[in-house]
Amino acid sequence: MDRLDFATISAYLNGAHLTRWHPPGHEPVLFMSERAVLEPGKAIRGGVPICFPWFGGAGDPSHGFARISPWSAEIGSDDRVSFSLIDNEATRDTWPHAFAATFDVTGGDALKLRFSAKNTGDKPFTFELALHTYLAVADVRNVTLTGFADCDYIDQLDDNRTVTQQGEPTIAGEVDRIYQNHTADVTITDPGLSRCITVKKTGSRSTVLWNPHIAKAKRLDDFGDDEWPQMLCVETANIGDHAVSLAPGASHETTVRIEVDHV
């Protein structure tokens, strides 16, 4: 008897945090740690954390306040959820700017994400962004990546040295790289799950590639010691030299389209 299966998405108002995208005929595409902490004001280990208005330790809290702030949401008719966050006393205490951020999620056979930030104040500001996407893989040591060859990256594990990627990266240890001026599609071919994930983006010139491997996984309380082989972060971002400056009234949009195909 014919059955209709639809993609499922799950998200939390806390951080406008997308935690699940399960397209029909595939295993879930986003990784979620079994030790993720699901509490208001806490970052969630997995899915797509929104790092805004800065990345990493460029401010306090690390990776910005967006991923630990309460967003509002409107659920659209076409499998779309639209989150929004505007400046408030708490955000202004850490970042003295007026802004309106939106994050649109559309599930289905492909996952479509759209982040937009608007300067609603009377002075210019510059922001960083990373849609810190945790992708689920069978074993990160066995995946094949494309889209990074010959691109320069900042190696966050080697004193932020700039390195030119020779060939395509493999994940044989901890990897924490910010690829510069990177706009190419990325593919992750995963023989263990017999699938290929493709990440396509617009409005982004940084891509972060991260896997904690053994030692860092052990240092993360909300990450199982044995979970690191099951994930790879491919983060659509604008960081450092690619941070975005907005004049009053201006806005900027970043989109990501994630597809998954059997191989």
Task: Return the SS3 of 106.
Answer: strand
Would residue 132 show up in a list of annotated catalytic residues for this protein? Answer: yes
Residue span binding ligand TA6 (CB under 6 A) among the ranges 5-13, 28-36, 55-63, 85-93: 55-63
Q: What are phi and psi of 159, to 5 degrees?
A: 55, 30
Q: Of 18, 47, 50, 63, which lies in the binding site for ligand TA6, with binding defined by CB under 6 A?
A: 63
> Cα–Cα distance between 115 and 131 in angstroms, integer?
9
Closer Cβ to ligand TA6, 199 or 246, answer by number: 199
Here the tokens at position 136 are 């689920």
> Cα–Cα distance between 155 and 209 in angstroms, integer?
10
> Cα–Cα distance between 43 and 35 in angstroms, integer?
12
Active-site entry in 17, 97, 132, 213: 132
Place of tokens 């209709």: 4
**By CB under 6 A, is residue 156 in contact with ligand TA6?**
yes
- The Cα angle at residue 133 between residues 130 and 137, in degrees rounded to 5: 155
- What stretch of H or E contains 93? helix 89-94
**By CB under 6 A, is residue 227 in contact with ligand TA6?**
no
Number of residues that bind ligand TA6 (CB under 6 A): 11
> Cα–Cα distance between 212 and 208 in angstroms, integer?
13
**By CB under 6 A, is residue 43 in contact with ligand TA6?**
yes
Q: Which of residues 200-219 bind ligand TA6 (CB under 6 A)?
A: 208, 210
Active-site entry in 17, 63, 182, 235: 235
Residue 206 one-letter amino acid: S
Closer Cβ to ligand TA6, 154 or 258, answer by number: 154
**By CB under 6 A, is residue 235 in contact with ligand TA6?**
yes
> Cα–Cα distance between 91 and 88 in angstroms, integer?
5
Work out how close the CB of 176 gets to ligand TA6 at its nearest, in angstroms, rounded to a whole number: 5
**By CB under 6 A, is residue 56 in contact with ligand TA6?**
yes
Q: Which residue is nearest to ligand TA6 (CB)?
A: 210
**By CB under 6 A, is residue 104 in contact with ligand TA6?**
no
- DSSP state for residue 218 in the 8-state scheme: H
**By CB under 6 A, is residue 160 in contact with ligand TA6?**
no
Closer Cβ to ligand TA6, 15 or 23, answer by number: 15
Would residue 128 show up in a list of annotated catalytic residues for this protein? Answer: no
Residue span binding ligand TA6 (CB under 6 A) among the ranges 56-64, 73-81, 84-92, 192-200: 56-64
Q: Where are the beta strands (DSSP E) in 23-174?
A: 50-51, 72-75, 80-86, 99-106, 111-119, 125-127, 129-131, 134-136, 144-146, 152-155, 161-164
**By CB under 6 A, is residue 88 in contact with ligand TA6?**
no
Q: What positions carry a catalytic annotation? A: 132, 235
Q: Footprint of ligand TA6 on this chain (CB under 6 A)?
A: 43, 56, 62-63, 132, 156, 176, 208, 210, 233, 235
